[in-house]
Amino acid sequence: MPDLPLVGVVGVCSSGKSTLIRGLEERGYRCRHIAQEHSFAQQMWKIIAKPDVLIYLSCSFENANRRRKLNWTLADYEEQLRRLTHAREHADITLDSDALNESQVLAQALAALAKFS
């Protein structure tokens, strides 16, 4: 098996980062869970994690709340989006986790990652 790229995964809380990372790691990928949504440093994802490929998972406020009971407001969600701006603009792969189930997110990520392997 060729060397697989180091994959960084970013997105708002409850967008599916941990689930996607688990699925990718089960298939041999090295992954970094990047908590960019909690950082004021816009380029934290790039400086600390140094991924070969960056995946951005989008998720609506409504779906994030449906997936996990979060103690946050729409303003908190919008702040996370603001903090993720740089990562979103520089993502190699963007997936809308609202429109997909866990298996579909993983399948789309694997298909997109095949281009980087």
Pick the CATH number of 6-116 from 3.40.50.300, 3.30.429.10, 1.10.357.140, 1.10.3720.10: 3.40.50.300
pLDDT in tens, 49-85: 789 999 999 999 999 988 888 888 999 999 999 999 9
pLDDT in tens, 6-21: 999 999 999 999 999 9
Cβ atoms within 10 Å of 102's Cβ, excluding its own: 13
**Domain boundaries of the chain, sorted by first residue:** 6-116
List alpha helices for 1-117, DSSP H. 17-26, 44, 61-67, 74-83, 85-90, 102-113
Through-space distance between the first and last CA atoms of the chain, rounded to whole angstroms: 10
